[in-house]
């Protein structure tokens, strides 16, 4: 079993900002302050882009940073999805599905040791779609658009729950066949 060497780096500090933004985003979403939630969302996206670039430029890329980056994404989108579920915008099952998918990724990362964890193309696209799911109603409301309507946003959320379950089952099947 490999050990993860934890280093406080500039890239990890940027990632930590995304974790700290998560509850602020969730509170803004719960309070119906779409403009504040939208601004926080774009700040979180900026940290997601910046942390990887800083890590590569400064030679700070490593197993811990990669896992921390994914954890920050999972915390941000699952807390946002939970808040939006509380106000009836997204399905209640999306936030726990995101958390379970991340937990599975974390376990796979530990099992992979020094190697990259098994790639999941669907999991990658789901990760992007989680951001889209929590941003869409906030941006829509900030801009005063009527579309996409609530029914479509909710349906997209349920589609993400289903695709997350498919991705997790696929990852589990690959893990079992590798044993």
Give the containing element (helix H, strand E) for 72: helix 63-86
CA distances from 64 to 23, 50, 87, 135 (A): 23, 17, 34, 27
pTM above 0.85, yes or no: yes
Give the containing element (helix H, strand E) for 7: none
The answer to whether 14 touches 45, Cβ cutoff 8 Å, is no
Distance CA 95, CA 75 (A): 9
Residue 115 pLDDT exceeds 70: no
Q: Between 165 and 177, where is the model more confident?
A: 165
Question: Cα torsion for 46, 68, 81, 134, to the nearest 10°?
Answer: 20
Average confidence (pLDDT) over 145-173: 95
Average confidence (pLDDT) over 167-174: 87
- Percent of the chain residues topping a pLDDT of 70: 90
Q: pLDDT tens across 54-96, in order?
A: 999 999 888 888 889 999 999 999 999 999 999 999 999 999 9
Could you tell me the maximum CA-CA distance found in the chain, to the nearest angstrom?
A: 52
Residue 1 pLDDT exceeds 50: no
- What does pLDDT average to over the chain? 91
Name the burial class of residue 39, with classes exposed (0-12), middle (13-18) and buried (19+) by CB atoms within 10 angstroms of its CB.
Answer: middle
Distance CA 112, CA 121 (A): 17
Q: Between 179 and 9, where is the model more confident?
A: 9
- Domains plus CATH for the chain? 10-178 (1.20.120.1760)
Average confidence (pLDDT) over 139-150: 96
The answer to whether 87 touches 34, Cβ cutoff 8 Å, is no
| Per-residue pLDDT, 120 | 81
| Per-residue pLDDT, 51 | 95
């Amino acid at each position: 079993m490999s050990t993860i060497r934890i280093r406080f780096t500039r890239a990890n500090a940027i990632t930590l900002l995304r974790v700290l933004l998560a509850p602020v985003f969730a509170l803004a979403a719960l309070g119906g302050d779409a403009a504040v939630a939208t601004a926080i969302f774009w700040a979180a996206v900026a940290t997601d882009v910046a942390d990887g670039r800083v890590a590569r430029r400064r030679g700070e890329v490593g197993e811990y940073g990669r896992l921390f980056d994914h954890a920050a994404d999972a915390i941000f989108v699952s807390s946002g999805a939970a808040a939006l579920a509380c106000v009836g915008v997204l399905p209640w099952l999306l936030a726990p599905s995101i958390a379970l998918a991340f937990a599975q990724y974390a376990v796979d990362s530990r099992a992979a040791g020094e190697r990259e964890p098994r790639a999941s193309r669907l999991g990658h696209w789901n990760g992007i779609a989680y951001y889209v799911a929590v941003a869409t109603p906030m941006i829509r409301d900030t801009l005063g658009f009527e579309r996409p309507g609530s029914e479509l946003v909710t349906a997209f959320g349920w589609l993400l729950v289903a695709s997350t379950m498919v991705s997790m089952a696929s990852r589990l099947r690959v893990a079992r066949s590798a044993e």
